[in-house]
């Protein structure tokens, strides 16, 4: 019976607080419509990139009974990128990341098997997380204060920016984590464990979010035995998956993540999670250095999380406890991406930050004065300014320059004009053939079995035979335009153009069409003379 009571909570809340719920839904609607519109524009103007295509191919293969297989995951594996192993269509993605919760959304994808479905899903899940947050806040707070908390969520850098990125498994975190916390407060234990299992199914390291909740339950003495059970379950799950399951699915799994991010603690080229943890324990000086240095970067990261909540989480002990373990995991890593609040990893910190803020306000409601509301409003506005000026994941490139010096700006009219030319060439590629494409075209060709990224043109098919792809398509104009300011585009341009020249010189492929700097090749077909002439002109332009 308890399992049936949680949905009733929302109906009861609507009866008691109809105006507050309506306003929360209005905030959610604005968030959903605005970010969905930007996300769809980003896709159709070819600004989504590799991982959007990877996850779309993953869902498409699941739909056809090829469970969690992906040639794009294979091409992005360590053995391919570093050891030069040719990718395969039968590579199992679970060997890199244990994303079992994707099966929940397969029926939706079955109805709409398209990359845009994942954009809708991501924005929808992040939006739903905010509505559950409102219900969680209302357990402790008055409607007005709960709305401020919800508005802070929908204006948070760590929420908005990752939502405007490619589809990632992290978009499930707010819904399931806030759901677990709401069930905890309402003492709906079946729903709590359902949400806990769903958190574990997001990805192998998502259990660290649950671990933080368990530690809080023990330290606060609210539910000591439940907290201990949560810690044991989450820790055991992470250890079993990372040390026993992933290595059996893909022997290079630890090299992908652990060896790159935590090499400062271990000497092994393929460390296990237990080896990394032991390395942290036995190298406390190195751990402290990684966690706190460089200090300015750590402080700016925390400020980014605290800003939309008017810095309340900074003085909330609950925020430090619940969000502390995801924070520790991120701060102890090497590299800059882990501590980028614009990227998906920051979402893991969001539940603890907001839950701690709710509990702090429940103890200090008298601080919600008109003066503080003005300050809070200024913080929310500033958070939006940071989002806009940072142009997260190039989602706002139609209004924000990608670079000032040197100047790189592609206005919306040029984006759609160029997209029309790419679509003209894509129409010439059959839906059931193998394809190689440059990064920003990969999502549009990913609804198929065999896809790789240029300059790679080979992969193993379902028969285990090495094949060359049937078609190759490259957006040379995009690479040249962004190579003015961005090293990754410059590197891609320097490898893609020679590969195309090589394929043409060896008569492996024929050049079918060149349009607005976009190049289409087909295996074992003659080159079109006019296309060759346009290719020569394009080469002169990019080399001048």
Mean pLDDT for the stretch of residues 43-49: 97
- What pLDDT is attached to residue 1? 36
Whether pLDDT at 398 is above 70: yes
Q: Where are the alpha helices (H) located in 64-206, listed in sequence order?
A: 71-75, 78-81, 106-111, 115-140, 143-154, 157-163, 173-186, 189-202
Rg (CA), the chain: 25
Its pTM surpasses 0.85: yes
The pLDDT tens digits of the residues spanning 190-215 come to 999 999 999 999 999 999 999 999 99
- What pLDDT is attached to residue 85? 92
Whether pLDDT at 275 is above 90: no
Q: How many CB atoms lie within 10 A of CB 348?
A: 25
Q: Which residues lie across from 471 on neighbouring strands?
A: 435, 522
Residues 6+ apart with CB under 8 A from 338: 261, 330, 331, 345
CA 311/CA 325 separation, integer angstroms: 19
| Distance of alpha carbon 350 from the chain centroid | 14
The pLDDT tens digits of the residues spanning 423-474 come to 999 999 999 999 999 999 999 999 999 999 999 999 999 999 999 999 999 9
Point out the least confidently predicted range of 7-16, 313-322, 348-357. 7-16
Whether pLDDT at 3 is above 50: no
> Contact at 8 Å (CB) between 156 and 383?
yes
Q: Which residues of 196-228 are buried (b: 16+ CB within 10 A; e: fewer)?
A: bbbbbbbbbbbbbbbbbbbbbbbeeeebeebbe
- What pLDDT is attached to residue 274? 80
- What pLDDT is attached to residue 173? 98
pLDDT band at 276 (very low <50, low <70, confident <90, very high): confident
- What pLDDT is attached to residue 11? 63
The pLDDT tens digits of the residues spanning 281-315 come to 888 888 888 888 888 899 999 999 999 999 999 99
The pLDDT tens digits of the residues spanning 140-171 come to 999 999 999 999 999 999 999 999 999 999 99
CA 380/CA 155 separation, integer angstroms: 6
Whether pLDDT at 6 is above 50: no
- Computed over every residue of the chain, the mean pLDDT equals 92
Point out the least confidently predicted range of 54-68, 70-84, 370-384. 70-84
- What pLDDT is attached to residue 2? 39
Q: Where are the domains of the chain?
A: 13-47+97-256+268-394, 412-543
Whether pLDDT at 361 is above 80: yes
pLDDT band at 10 (very low <50, low <70, confident <90, very high): low
């Amino acid at each position: 019976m308890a399992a049936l009571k949680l949905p009733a909570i929302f109906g009861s809340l609507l009866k008691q607080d109809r105006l507050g719920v309506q306003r929360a839904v209005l905030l959610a609607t604005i968030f959903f419509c605005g970010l969905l519109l930007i996300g769809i524009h980003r896709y159709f103007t070819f600004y989504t990139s590799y991982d959007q295509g990877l996850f779309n191919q993953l869902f498409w293969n699941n739909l056809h009974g090829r469970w969690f297989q992906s040639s794009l995951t294979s091409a992005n594996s360590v053995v391919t990128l570093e050891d030069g192993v040719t990718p395969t269509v039968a590579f199992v993605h679970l060997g890199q990341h244990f994303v079992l919760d994707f099966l929940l959304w397969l029926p939706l994808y079955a109805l709409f098997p398209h990359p845009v479905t994942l954009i809708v899903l991501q924005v929808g899940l992040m939006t739903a997380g905010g509505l559950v947050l409102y219900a969680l806040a209302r357990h402790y707070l008055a409607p007005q204060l709960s709305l401020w908390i919800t508005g802070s969520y929908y204006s948070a850098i760590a929420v908005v920016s990752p939502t405007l990125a490619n589809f990632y498994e992290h978009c499930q975190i707010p819904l399931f984590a806030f759901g677990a916390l709401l069930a905890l407060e309402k003492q709906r234990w079946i729903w709590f464990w359902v949400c806990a299992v769903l958190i574990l199914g997001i990805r192998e390291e998502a259990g660290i979010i649950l671990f933080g909740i368990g530690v809080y339950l023990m330290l606060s003495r609210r539910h000591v035995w439940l907290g201990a059970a949560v810690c044991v379950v989450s820790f055991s799950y992470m250890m079993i998956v990372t040390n026993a399951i992933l290595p059996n699915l893909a022997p290079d799994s630890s090299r992908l993540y652990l060896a790159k991010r935590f090499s400062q603690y271990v000497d092994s080229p393929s460390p296990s999670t237990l080896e990394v943890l032991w390395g942290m324990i036995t190298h406390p000086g190195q751990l402290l250095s990684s966690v706190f240095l460089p200090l300015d970067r750590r402080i700016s990261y925390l400020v980014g999380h605290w800003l939309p909540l008017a810095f309340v989480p900074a003085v909330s002990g609950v925020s430090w406890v619940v969000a502390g373990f995801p924070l520790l995991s991120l701060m102890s890593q090497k590299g800059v991406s882990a501590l980028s609040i614009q990227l998906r990893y920051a979402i893991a910190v969001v539940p603890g930050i907001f839950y701690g803020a709710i509990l702090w306000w429940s103890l200090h409601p008298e601080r919600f004065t008109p003066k503080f509301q003005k300050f809070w409003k200024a913080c929310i506005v500033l958070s939006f300014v940071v989002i806009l000026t940072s142009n997260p994941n190039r989602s706002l490139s139609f209004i924000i320059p990608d670079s000032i010096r040197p100047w790189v700006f592609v206005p919306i009219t040029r984006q759609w004009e160029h997209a029309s030319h790419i679509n003209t060439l894509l129409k010439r590629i059959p839906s059931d053939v193998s394809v190689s494409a440059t990064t920003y075209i990969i999502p549009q060709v990913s609804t198929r079995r065999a896809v790789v990224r240029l300059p790679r043109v080979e992969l193993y098919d379902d028969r285990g035979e090495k094949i060359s792809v049937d078609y190759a398509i490259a957006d040379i104009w995009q690479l040249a335009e962004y190579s003015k300011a961005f090293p990754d585009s410059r590197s891609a341009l320097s490898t893609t153009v020679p590969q195309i020249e090589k394929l043409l010189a060896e008569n492996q492929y024929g050049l079918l069409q060149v349009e607005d700097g976009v190049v289409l090749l087909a295996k074992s077909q003659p080159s079109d003379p006019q296309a060759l002439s346009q290719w020569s002109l394009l080469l002169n332009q990019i080399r001048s």
